[in-house]
Amino acid sequence: MNNSNLARETAPDASPNALIEIRDLSKRFGPEQVLSDVNLSVARGDSLVLIGGSGSGKSLLLKCIVGLVTPTSGSICIDGHDTAAMPARERRAFERRFGMLFQRQGLFDSMTVWENVAFRLLQDRDLSRSDARDIADDKIRSVGLGVEVGDLYPAELSGGMQKRVGFARAIATDPDILFLDEPTAGLDPIMSNVINEIITHGVEALGATTISITSDMVSARKISNRIAMIDEGHIIWDGPTMDIDESGNPVVERFIRSNVQIFQN
Ligand SMILES: Nc1ncnc2c1ncn2[C@@H]1O[C@H](COP(=O)(O)OP(=O)(O)O)[C@@H](O)[C@H]1O
Ligand SMILES: [Mg+2]
């Protein structure tokens, strides 16, 4: 591709360092406006966490970014490319750079752990099963599990081990953009901490840009350098993690306070 093509595909006023640039994004389902004029830019290397109450639109925003849901209006540029304008084939090639851990997309029960981890490697690439297994073993080890776990089935694992395997699957293709939807949901605080450590180290090793969702502020603080809060489909606060306690926004303050109470009880 020559420079003039590149220039044309780059949004004229995109922030120079933004890897992901979301502009005026809205999503409606029938009469229900779920996302309203979302503007968000994620720099390369950022670890952004989206926080917000249940049903506020966090998962939906992630699904719009990865292309699983088509926005009603607005644009999403990744690396300067408007994703909506991208032909399907180019789009699929692009999506190989993504790693995802979805809230309701668990592990496949009928596959072994290593086959789960290697799922996209086996689908997308010209890899032999034994090469795919080698990569899967590597990822399984990187989340602190023994390679023998690879031959087990998901039902034989504890909740914490399943989350580790889910993360190993998300990083299997060495993605440079990682999306993690509630990676510690349902875990006790100690196990959440273990998973947060694994995420932090894994992301660092990959050098990936990450957008995560979590309902728990302890995890949010631990795995992010930036936080954005969604409330009823609007981004109501967005800034460095270290500034969140001085947001000056009553809704953010209430969210942080109620979150502390949950963990004290
Ligand atoms: N495919 C869909 N069809 C209709 N409504 C949807 C769909 N996906 C999400 N929603 C609605 O959008 C709102 C936000 O959902 P979601 O993003 O999953 O919330 P959360 O912030 O808890 O992740 C909810 O009210 C949900 O019912
Ligand atoms: Mg959700």
Is residue 103 a part of any domain in this protein? no
Q: What ligand has the least distance to the C-alpha of 55? A: 1
Average pLDDT over residues 190-196: 91
- Structural domain of 9: 1-97+215-265
Is residue 82 a part of any domain in this protein? yes
CA distance 51 to 154: 28
Q: What ligand has the least distance to the C-alpha of 63? A: 1
What's the pLDDT score for residue 95?
Answer: 83
Nearest by Cα to 74 from 31, 34, 18: 34
Average pLDDT, the chain: 89
What's the pLDDT score for residue 89?
Answer: 85
Is residue 4 a part of any domain in this protein? yes
**CATH number for 42:** 3.40.50.300
The set of protein residues with a Cβ atom below 6 angstroms from ligand 1 is 29, 34, 52, 54-60
Query: What is the number of domains present in the chain?
Result: 1
Say yes or no to pLDDT of 7 above 70. no
Say yes or no to pLDDT of 264 above 50. no
Using a pLDDT cut of 70, give the percent of the chain over it: 91
For a ligand 1 pocket test, name from 34, 62, 72 the mutation site with the most ligand atoms within 8 angstroms of its C-beta. Answer: 34
What's the pLDDT score for residue 91?
Answer: 83
What's the pLDDT score for residue 92?
Answer: 81
> Could you give phi then psi for residue 230, rounded to 5 degrees?
-105, 135
Using a pLDDT cut of 90, give the percent of the chain over it: 74
Global pTM exceeds 0.85? yes
Is residue 40 a part of any domain in this protein? yes
Q: Over the stretch 112-160, which tens digit does the pLDDT of each residue have?
A: 999 999 999 998 767 899 999 999 999 999 999 999 999 999 999 998 9
Of ligand 1's listed atoms, the one at least distance from the Cα of 61 is 17
For helices 189-206 and 159-170, angle between their N-to-C axes, nearest 10 degrees: 10
Length of the chain in terms of residues written: 265
Is residue 208 a part of any domain in this protein? no
Say yes or no to pLDDT of 22 above 60. yes
**Distance from the CA of 103 to the center of ligand 2, in angstroms?**
7
For a ligand 1 pocket test, name from 50, 59, 63, 64 the mutation site with the most ligand atoms within 8 angstroms of its C-beta. Answer: 59
Burial category of 189 from C-beta neighbours within 10 Å (exposed 0-12, middle 13-18, buried 19 and up): exposed
> Is 67 within 8 Å of 95 (Cβ atoms)?
yes
Is residue 149 a part of any domain in this protein? no
Is residue 163 a part of any domain in this protein? no
Of ligand 1's listed atoms, the one at least distance from the Cα of 233 is 14
